[in-house]
Amino acid sequence: MGLKIKWNDDRVRATTTALLLICRDRLGRGVTDDLIQAAMTSYRGDPAGYKMNKAEWADVNETGMLGNPDHVVYYLKLVSTVDRLVNKMIQGKRQFNSLTELDNFLVFALKSVR
């Protein structure tokens, strides 16, 4: 039987949180190229490194380290879009067959945030 990741699985919330935190960190460093895909690749490529960094990073909703006002606006849009997306997944009882499918779904859904 294949792996099923349901809408209420902790891996969905962990992935979205990681995506947001890594994006914020990259924005804070001025790295904006292919932000969503790069953040997802970074998270899946080094989950232990992410967990170490997460302990030092501020809460997901904090924008203090983002100096550029455009980055602050973008990040806040990204946070609200992720929240809406997770709520839609919950309402629709969305399931994924693999972590790759979950990652691809998030990258596709969030790449249009501007």
Q: Tell me the DSSP string of the chain.
A: ----EETT-HHHHHHHHHHHHHHHHHHHTT--TTHHHHHHHHHHH-HHHHHHHHHHSPPTT--TT--SHHHHHHHHHHHHHHHHHHHHHHHHT-EESSHHHHHHHHHHHHTT--
- Our count of domains for the chain comes to 1
Q: What is the pLDDT along the chain (114 residues), one digit of tens a residue?
A: 467 899 888 999 999 999 999 999 999 999 989 999 999 999 999 988 898 888 888 899 899 889 899 999 999 999 999 999 999 999 999 999 999 999 999 999 999 898
pLDDT score at 2: 61
pLDDT score at 55: 86
pLDDT score at 1: 47
Structure tokens, 112: 């249009």
pLDDT score at 89: 93
Q: Are 102 and 47 in contact (CB under 8 A)?
A: no
Expressed as residue numbers, the domain containing 94 is 5-110
